[in-house]
Amino acid sequence: MTTFIGLEEHLKTWAGADETRRGIAQTIVSIAGNGIAIAELIAAGPLAGTLGASLGENADGDTQKELDVRAHEMIAAGLKETPVAYMGSEEAEEPVAINPDTGTLVVAIDPLDGSSNIDTNVSVGTIFSILPVQPGSDRTPLGDFLQPGTAQLAAGIIVYGPQTSLVLTVGAGTQIYILDRANRRFLLVREKVEIPLDKPEYAINASNYRFWDEPVRAYIDDCIAGEEGPRATNFNMRWIASLVAEVYRILARGGIFLYPRDSRKGYQRGRLRLVYEANPVAFIVEQAGGGATDGTARIMELKPGELHERVPLIFGARPKIERVIRYHTEPHSFVDRAPLFGKRGLFRM
């Protein structure tokens, strides 16, 4: 029988005697521990109360559900026992003080991602990013969260799905752990994830087609055109409306995910948040050999201006990301051949 290494043991080996690594490991173990408690709440569904009930709006004007708030509070309480100074959360306008005087790390977090899916029994998740407290006497708590994604020390997502899984990177590849429910432990099942390169599959909320910019429309048109189009391949489409589940699928079988900017009010910079959604996802995906871009720039090199800043997010297998960037930076790459494929447009094909 295969024996699986537990998360704590695995991180302990990685950290050795290194003080910073030990702090990172402790922080991950704390978040993962609360992830187990959140998984149990989600699995109980209505038996655990009105988890999907709307409580109001968060800092960004999104509806806040009971489970959003409970997940935020559980994780913040757990971090008290770690070297975390502040937690920057989707559910709080300002960074929340954890151990402000002694902490050496900060955690940026989306405590519950995909919360519009709570009542529909579809996978939801937690997304987190661990960054160092910056040196210098003029540092501010907020400033620690506004470092580019390249400064991340670790990033993870917990997917509360048929299996509860933890996808993690500490900068040495991407690992996947699965929750052994009977023993309440995460066990390592994949040591080094590599995103398959050529799966013809894309994920996008196609109901926004008419609001997209031309490069994104052209990219999707070319996928939809299938064997008769410029890609000469039939594509499949997925949209779970749960970022964590889309990341997991892309790690497992490849493809591309797009949440681009669009012309709707409030979507000029897309929907997803740079600091606690796009950056951790980009780190995980890059460590699995993939890429993440806003259409032209590498996500992890963007300098955030605020904690809740939004960003267009496109990630997946690297050749697909390179193609999307070409559509944005060299428009002739799709415009030139337009006559060959007739009039563009989703509904005209």
Ligand X SMILES: O=P(O)(O)OC[C@H]1O[C@](O)(COP(=O)(O)O)[C@@H](O)[C@@H]1O
Contact, 71 vs 194, CB < 8 A?
A: no
Mark the segment that binds ligand X (CB under 6 A) among 20-28, 110-118, 175-183, 326-334: 110-118
- Residue 90 known to bind ligand: yes
- Selection from ligand X, Mg ion, none that 241 binds (CB < 5 to 8 A by kind) is ligand X
Choose one: 15-23, 113-121, 163-171, 339-347; the region binding ligand X (CB under 6 A): 113-121
Phi, psi for residue 124 in degrees, rounded to 5: -125, -175
Span interacting with ligand X, options 35-43, 128-136, 235-243, 298-306, rule CB under 6 A: 235-243
Residues 322 and 198 sit within 8 Å (Cβ to Cβ): no
Tell me if 156 is assigned to a ligand binding site: no
Q: Is 333 in the site for ligand X (CB under 6 A)?
A: no
Nearer Cβ to Mg ion (8/60)? 60
Options 241, 297, 338, 346; binder of ligand X; rule CB under 6 A: 241
Q: Is the four-CA dihedral 25, 30, 36, 42 of positive or negative sign?
A: negative
- Considering the rule CB under 6 A, would residue 243 count as an interface residue with ligand X? yes
**CA–CA separation, 151 and 280 (whole Å):** 11
> Taking Cα atoms as reference points, which of 244, 253, 240 lies closest to residue 159?
244
Q: Rule CB under 6 A: is residue 62 a binding residue for ligand X?
A: yes
- From the number of C-beta atoms within 10 Å of its C-beta (0-12, 13-18, 19+), residue 132 rates as middle
202: nearest Cα among 161, 156, 164, 259: 259
- The verdict on whether residue 213 carries a ligand-binding annotation is no
* Residue 301 annotated as lining a ligand binding site: no
For ligand X, give the closer residue by CB, 8 or 73.
73
Interface pick for ligand X out of 114, 141, 270, 291 (rule CB under 6 A): 114
- Of 266 and 319, nearer to ligand X (C-beta) is 266
Binds 116: which of Mg ion, ligand X, none (CB < 5-8 Å by kind): ligand X
Residue with Cβ nearer ligand X (20 or 205)? 205
* Phi-psi domain of 240 (left: phi exceeds 0; alpha: psi -120 through 50; beta: other): alpha
Q: Which two tokens stand for residue 34?
A: 């609360």
CB of residue 240 to ligand X, shortest distance in Å: 8
Query: Which of helix, strand or coil describes residue 247?
Result: helix
The least CB distance from residue 344 to ligand X, in Å, is: 23
| Under 8 Å between Cβ of 270 and 260 | yes
Q: Which is nearer to Mg ion, 106 or 112 (CB)?
A: 112
Q: Vertex 240, ends 70 and 234: CA angle to 5°?
A: 165
Quickly list H helices, 115-266.
141-145, 214-224, 243-253
Report in angstroms how near the CB of residue 261 gets to ligand X at its nearest.
13
Q: Annotated binding residue at 68?
A: no
Place of tokens 């559980």: 74
Among 15, 22, 48, 116, which residue sits at the site for ligand X (rule: CB under 6 A)? 116
Our CA dihedral for 238, 242, 244, 249, rounded to 10 degrees, sits at -10
Report which of 73, 68, 72, 95 is spatially closest to residue 84, judged by C-alpha positions: 95
Figure out which of the listed residues 13, 20, 50, 205 binds ligand X, where binding follows CB under 6 A: 205
Give the nearest distance from C-beta 116 to ligand X in angstroms: 6
- The answer on whether 110 is annotated among ligand-binding residues is yes
Structure tokens at 75: 């994780």
Binding footprint of ligand X on the chain (CB under 6 A): 62, 90, 110, 113-116, 205, 241-243, 259, 271
Please give the annotated binding residues, written as ranges: 90, 110, 112-116, 205, 277
- Which residues are known binding-site members for Mg(2+)? 90, 110, 112-113, 277
